[in-house]
Amino acid sequence: MRISCRHAANVFIALFLALAVRPCLRSQATNYPDKPPVLLGAAWYPEQWPESRWDQDLTLMEAAHIDVVRVAEFAWSTMEPSEGNYQFDWLDRAIAAAARHHICVVLGTPTAAPPAWLTTKYPETLRWNEFDRRDEHGNRQQFSFTDPKYRQFAHAIAEQMAIHFGHNPNVVGWQLDNEYANPSFDPSAKEQFHRWLEKKYGSVAELNRRWATAYWSQTYDNFDEIPVRENDENPALLLDWKRFVSETWKNYSENQISAIRTHADPRQFITTNTMGWFDGFDEYTVHSVLDIAAWDDYIGSDKYDYVSNGATHDLTRGYKNKNFWVMETEPAFVNWRKTNTPLWRGQIRDMAWQAIGHGSDAVEYWQWRSAPNGQEEYHGVLVGADGTPVPDYAEIQQVGEEFAKAGPALAGTSPHSDAALVNDYDSRWAISFQRHSANFDPVGEMLAFYRPLREKSQSVDVISINAPFDGYKVLVLPGLNVISQKAADRLMEYVRNGGRLLLGPRSGMKDEFDALQPERQPGALAALLGGRVDQFYALDYDVPLTGDLGSGTANIWAEQLSTQSSDTKVVERYGVKGQNSGAPGAPGFGATGLNGWLDDQPAVLTRKVGKGRITYVGAWLDDALLDNITAGLLEEAGVQPILPGVPKGVEVCRRTGDGKTGQGKSVLILINHNSDAAHVSLPAPMRNLIGSQSTAVSTVDLPAYGVAVLAKE
C-alpha cells in the first residue's frame, strides 16, 4: 500500500499548537531514576520451582531484556504456611537473585488466594454467592470482600510484607490482590449493605420515595428488610448495590494500603490489576485510592481487534488520567477461551507497542514459565516447564531490545487528546439492568462511537463524567443514561464555553436513583438542545435514514425526536415507506425497516450555542453515519489527525513530553496491524529508534504487523 501524505506541512504546526493548548500535564506512571522508563516484564512464580533453578530462569529473563517481575500474588500458603508464621526468606532470596540480573520487582499481596488453614479455621471468611452458596477452597477468589476476619488477615499479611520489603531498593511497587471481581453475599456483606443504605438515605421513608417502592408493594419498614441481590430486583436497588460494591472494593484496597503505606517507601507505587470494560464495580471509585492504574490485556476472541484493544488502553489511562501499566498480557495465547487460537507471528510485538503508544509504561507477560501443575497448564508462556524457551520468546526478546532502545526518548511522555469519550458506570449499569433491546450492549455502543473518533483524530481520552472537560474540543457521551443535575450543569457550561458535545441514544433518561427524569430525554439538557425524545423503540431490523450526513440505517435502537426550538436543526430523519423506488433492502426502500412511528421523524438534532454545539443522536447508527457525524464535529472543532493519510490498518500513536524529563519531546509510534506490508510517508525526516537505519527517513515501510518508533532529528 502506498499513500502520499497530504497536509504534511500542517502536521508539525498542529502538533506543537496542540501541545501548547493542553491544559493539564500528564505524566508517566512511574519515574524511577535508576530503572528504565519503559519496562518489559513477566509474572514469575519462584515458589513453584526449586531454588536451584531460579538462576537459569533469571539468566534467560535478562537475555530477553526483562526488567521487572511480578511475584507472590498467589503465594500466601508459602509466605504464611500456618497462622502467624511468616516465611519471607525465600522471597528475600528470590528478589536478591532478580536484582543480580538487573530485574526489579512488583510484589503482589496474596489475598486473592487465601490458604486452606485460614478458610478451614475461619469459614466466615469464605465468599457466598447470590444464592447463599458458600465457596470452597481449591480455586481462587473464594474470600468475602466484607468479612472483618478476612480484612484482619489481609491487613496482617500486607503489613508483614511491607515491614519486610517496604525499604527493599529492588521492590518498585505493589499490586493489591489480583483482578478484583466477585462480590460476596454473606451475612457481613448484607449487614454492611443495609448500613450503607441507611447512611445514604437517612430514613427508610426517603429510600421508599427515591426507589418508588409503592410499585409491586416493595415498601420497606426498615433497612434490614431490603433484599441483597444483583439480579431481578428494583433497578434502584441494583444500582445502589453496584455502588456499594465499588465502595467496598475501595475500602478493601484501603485496608491493605494503610498497612503498606505505614511501612513502605513512598517511591513504591500501589496499584491493582484490572480487567478492561468489566463492569462489576466503578473503577474511578477504586482508583481514587491507588497510585497508578494497571490492566491485564488479553484478547477475548479469535480476532485481535486493535481499535477495541486500544480503547481499553485509553479507558485504563483515564482511571488516573496518566500513564499506566499493562500488568499482564498474553504470550501468544490464553487457556480460558473455547478455542485458544494463538496470535500470529509478529502480533505479540504489535500488541506490546500498541500498549506503549496508548500510554503504558510497562508490558508484562503472563506468565514466564508453565507451572508444573494446576489449572493453567495450557496457557501461553515464554519458557516451558522444561526450563527452555518456547518459540515466542524470541519475539518478546526483540520487544525488550526495542524498549531499551526507545525508552530514553519515551521518558516523560504520554498521549494527549483533543477529543474525549465519557465512560459512565452508573449509565452502563442502568442500561444493562433494562436493556429493552437485547443487543444494546453499552460497551458496544461506546466502541461504535470510539472507532471513528480514534480513526479520525488518532488520539482519544476515555474519561469519567467527573473528570475535567476543559481542554477537550469534542466530548462524546455515547449513552449517558443516568445524569445528575451536577453533570448536566457541567455539560451545559462546557457547551456554552465553546465545546462540542455529542450525546448518543438513551442519554439523559434517568436520575441518580435510576428513576425516570420528570422531563423527556435528554432531561436537564433538553432545553439546551432545543429538542427532545418523544418515544424510543427497540429494533431488530434496519431502519433507513437520510439527511445531511447521507443515507444509512439504524438498528437495535431508534428514538423519535422532535425540535422545541426554531434554531435546532434536524440533521437526519428516518425514511418514509415508499418514498424511493429501487432495490429492496436499500435505505428508504420497500417495507423493510419502517415501523410507521418513525416515518419522516427526526433522528439526529443539533444546535449551535455561541461557539459551542450540542448534538443528539437518537439511534444506534451504522458505521458510515457515525463516521460522517464524527468527521463533521472534529472538523468544526479544528481537530486534526496526527498523521493524515496513513493506510487503513496502520495505527498512529503519539506521546509528547511533559515535565522536566519530557520537555519538547514528541515520539510517533506507527503500527501496521495488517497482514500485508504498508508504506507511510512522513511530513518531515524522522529517525526510527528501533530500525536498522541510523539516519532520518522520510518514508517508512512497515511489514505485516511491523512497528516504527519515530522521533524528530
- Which positions are catalytic? 179, 328
As a whole number of angstroms, the distance between CA 626 and CA 629 comes to 5
Closest distance of CB 243 from ligand GLA, Å? 25
For 348, phi then psi, to 5°, come to -65, -45
Q: What is the SS3 assignment for 92? A: helix
Q: How many CA atoms lie within 13 A of 204 on its CB side?
A: 13
Question: What stretches of 170-267 show up as alpha helix (H) in DSSP?
Answer: 187-201, 204-211, 235-263
Size (the chain), residues: 713
Q: What is the SS3 assignment for 487? A: helix
CA 322 to chain centre: 13
Closest distance of CB 302 from ligand GLA, Å? 16
Which residue's CB is nearer to ligand GLA, number 178 or number 459?
A: 178
Query: Contact 482/488 with Cβ under 8 angstroms?
Result: no
Nearest Cα residue to 610 out of 450, 465, 492, 453: 492
For 106, phi then psi, to 5°, come to -105, 125
Q: Which residue is nearest to ligand GLA (CB)?
A: 296
Query: Contact 64/400 with Cβ under 8 angstroms?
Result: yes
Render 280-332 in DSSP notation, one character per residue: SS-HHHHHTT-SS-EEEE---SSS--HHHHHHHHHHHHHHHTS-EEEEEE-SS
Dihedral angle of Cα 142, 146, 150, 156, to the nearest 10 degrees: 130
Closest distance of CB 371 from ligand GLA, Å? 10
As a whole number of angstroms, the distance between CA 560 and CA 619 comes to 9
Which residue's CB is nearer to ligand GLA, number 328 or number 361?
A: 328
Closest distance of CB 441 from ligand GLA, Å? 22
Which residue's CB is nearer to ligand GLA, number 44 or number 185?
A: 44
Which residue's CB is nearer to ligand GLA, number 296 or number 392?
A: 296
Which residue's CB is nearer to ligand GLA, number 152 or number 301?
A: 301
As a whole number of angstroms, the distance between CA 502 and CA 187 comes to 44
Which residue's CB is nearer to ligand GLA, number 178 or number 268?
A: 178
Q: What is the SS3 assignment for 75? A: coil
| Dihedral-angle region of residue 217 (phi above 0 means left; psi in -120 to 50 means alpha; beta otherwise) | left
As a whole number of angstroms, the distance between CA 536 and CA 556 comes to 11
Query: Positive or negative CA dihedral for 384, 386, 390, 393?
Result: positive
Which residue's CB is nearer to ligand GLA, number 374 or number 685?
A: 374
Residues binding ligand GLA (CB under 6 A): 178-179, 296, 298, 328, 334, 336, 366, 376, 379
Question: What stretches of 638-682 show up as alpha helix (H) in DSSP?
Answer: 659-662
Which residue's CB is nearer to ligand GLA, number 374 or number 582?
A: 374
Closest distance of CB 273 from ligand GLA, Å? 6
Closest distance of CB 279 from ligand GLA, Å? 17
Which residue's CB is nearer to ligand GLA, number 179 or number 559?
A: 179
Q: How many CB atoms lie within 10 A of CB 485?
A: 11
For 386, phi then psi, to 5°, come to -75, -10
Closest distance of CB 290 from ligand GLA, Å? 17
Q: How many CA atoms lie within 13 A of 66 on its CB side?
A: 33
Closest distance of CB 509 from ligand GLA, Å? 35
Q: Which residues contact 342 (CB under 8 A, 6 or more apart)?
A: 332, 333, 380
Which residue's CB is nearer to ligand GLA, number 32 or number 298?
A: 298
For 38, phi then psi, to 5°, come to -125, 120
As a whole number of angstroms, the distance between CA 537 and CA 556 comes to 8
Q: What is the SS3 assignment for 500? A: strand
Q: At what angle do helices 442-457 and 306-320 cross, to 10 degrees?
A: 100
Q: What is the SS3 assignment for 134? A: strand
Closest distance of CB 82 from ligand GLA, Å? 25
Closest distance of CB 359 from ligand GLA, Å? 20
